Chains A and B, each alone.
Chain A
Amino acid sequence: DAGVIQSPRHEVTEMGQEVTLRCKPISGHNSLFWYRQTMMRGLELLIYFNNNVPIDDSGMPEDRFSAKMPNASFSTLKIQPSEPRDSAVYFCASSPQENQPQHFGDGTRLSIL
């Protein structure tokens, strides 16, 4: 079975540019999560969707960040405009239901110059 698929794997761009990260969850999973990993703060939950509806976005750092889930098989995390402090590894995870194990994609390593 295919796991969680994220794209791109790496992204390098200049500050001020718009960045879009993409995620395809495991088929049949109802919950989707976006995490960010940095050396300073470790792994943090940014936003969580259940049945395509955003449930908790309290971890989204500021208005420059937005996430959508237009259907059960696709989600995006967008940063506009990007800043150097947004550099991190962004992970997408999915689970069959809210209280079941989360499975992670390989992450997108984002560098903002």
Chain B
Amino acid sequence: GIQVEQSPPDLILQEGANSTLRCNFSDSVNNLQWFHQNPWGQLINLFYIPSGTKQNGRLSATTVATERYSLLYISSSQTTDSGVYFCAAGAGSNYKLTFGKGTLLTVNP
């Protein structure tokens, strides 16, 4: 099945800093999603982005499907951005999302 790798595994920022999280996948994808798991354990859907670029406030994402990677940008980070960011990809029948191991982001005041 498809392999999903995320980097970096951990990231510590000061409030106001910008960051880029990366997701590499091993096969062509029909589904790619970014999630934020907050400290309460909730999985929040950030982007559905099998290709192209999307923006939502301080967050944006880009997927280059031909090169098999996706990037999540967080600008002007806030303490509430802390948590684990997951990339999940689906290929082939694409209903089956394979999750990466996540990036643990800590934003300090």
Contact = CB atoms under 8 A, between A and B. Distances in A.
A50 B95 contact: yes
B95 A89 contact: no
Interface residues of B, number: 20
Given A43-B86, A99-B90, A104 B95 contact: no
Contacts of A98: 93-95
Contacts, number: 47
B99 interface: yes
B45 interface: yes
A96 B90 CA distance: 16
> How many residues of A sit at the interface, in one of the four size bands?
20 to 34
Given A42-B101, A45-B96, A99-B94, A104 B45 contact: yes
A50 B93 CA distance: 13
Interface of A: 31, 33, 42-45, 48, 50, 55-56, 89, 91, 98-104, 106-107, 109
